[in-house]
Amino acid sequence: MYSIIVHGGVGAVPHDKEEAVVAGVRKAVLAGSDVLAERGSSLDAVETAIKVLETNPLFNAGTGSVLTFDGEVEMDAAVAYGPALGFGAIAGIKNIEHPISLARMVMEKTDHVLLQGSGAQEFARMMGIVPHNPVTEERRAQWHEYRERFLDRTG
């Protein structure tokens, strides 16, 4: 017997996107459940579920992440695995599709628990992570609106 609990983040969800967000969370739960049903590990199930969220532009993870003030996506991810007392995290990573997978690599392939910024970028390159642009047109437009409002107040 097992349970998988997934949440799609915090913040207000526009009414017109509620059904799609719930469907996205359900898809992540089902993907993780499928791994467990096939006798995969709990760690594989968690990574698989999170990758579904990171691929869906409705969520603020991976593709669809909110842009920084400078107009870039900087992502963080962490994974913990109790049976091995393992932990891996990355912070400020840019231009990859699945930050959760890189966090798992930190846990499994290094003596570190956290890689950040340029060190995380170099580690991703060394691990053969293919570059991916996670910026969506919707987030770019949102960023422009935020910048305009901010500059109006300070300008």
| Residues 63-103: tens digit of each pLDDT | 999 999 999 999 999 999 998 899 999 999 999 999 999 99
Q: Where are the domains of the chain?
A: 1-59, 66-155
- Using CA atoms of 58, 61, 64, 65 in order, give the dihedral in degrees to the nearest 10: 130
List, in order, residues 6 or more apart from 97 with CB less than 8 Å away: 54, 55, 62, 63, 130, 132, 134
This prediction's pTM? 0.92
pLDDT confidence band for 153 (50 / 70 / 90): confident
pLDDT confidence band for 155 (50 / 70 / 90): low
| Residues 117-133: tens digit of each pLDDT | 999 999 999 999 999 99
pLDDT confidence band for 50 (50 / 70 / 90): very high
Longest dimension (CA), the chain: 58
